[in-house]
């Protein structure tokens, strides 16, 4: 997947989860600018995990504060191979 495609998919997921027009969500938007609070944040990560079939560890999740953090985090997990990471999560 190209970086552009990944960025577009993340923007779409966040726009859908937050009920925002997609053009408002840019790769450079911070969660604070988009009014994304802690509960919105974990809800977005849930949508991201489902979309890309990855598992984002809690500790990594805590440092995500922007759209760019989400994109970079997914790219890293996808690079680690199918399933996203080595966490023993099957369900």
Partner 1 sequence: MNRRVVITGVGVVCALGHNSQDFWKALSEGRSGIAPLESVEPGLLRFQNGAEVRNWDSLRYFDEKEAGMLDRFAQFGVVAAREAVADAGIEWTPELREETAIVTGSCVGGQGAEDEGFVNLYRKNIPRVSPLTIPRTMENAAASRISLEMGIVGPTYTVSTACSSSNHAIGQAFWMVRSGAARMAIAGGSEAVFSLGFLKAWEAMRVVSPDTCRPFSKDRRGLILGEGGAMLVLEPLESAQARGARIYGEVVGFGMGSDAFHITQPSADGAARAMRAALADGGLRPEDIGYINAHGTATQANDATETAAIRKVFGAQAGRVQVSSTKSMHGHTLGAAGALEGVATALALHHGILPPTANYNEPDPACDLDVIPNHARQAQVEYALSNSFAFGGLNAVLAFGCARR
- Binding residues vs partner 1 (CB under 8 A): 37-39, 42, 45-46, 55, 57-58, 61-62, 87-91
**Shortest spacing between CB 75 and partner 1, in angstroms:** 21
Give the residue with the Cβ less far from partner 1, 29 or 55.
55
Is residue 28 part of the annotated active site? The answer reads: no
Angle at 58 between CA 54 and CA 60, to 5 degrees: 80
**Shortest spacing between CB 72 and partner 1, in angstroms:** 19
How many Å apart are CA 68 and CA 54, to the nearest integer?
Answer: 17
How many Å apart are CA 64 and CA 2, to the nearest integer?
Answer: 21
How many Å apart are CA 36 and CA 53, to the nearest integer?
Answer: 23
**Shortest spacing between CB 26 and partner 1, in angstroms:** 25
Kindly list the catalytic residues.
Answer: 37
């Amino acid at each position: 997947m190209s970086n552009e495609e990944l960025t577009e998919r993340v923007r779409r997921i966040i726009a859908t989860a937050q009920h925002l027009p997609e053009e408002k969500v840019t790769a450079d938007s911070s969660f604070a600018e988009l009014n994304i609070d802690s509960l919105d944040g974990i809800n977005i990560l849930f949508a991201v995990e489902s979309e890309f079939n990855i598992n984002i560890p809690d500790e990594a999740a805590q440092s995500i504060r922007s759209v760019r953090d989400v994109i970079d985090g997914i790219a890293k997990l996808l690079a680690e191979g199918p399933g996203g990471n080595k966490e023993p999560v099957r369900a």
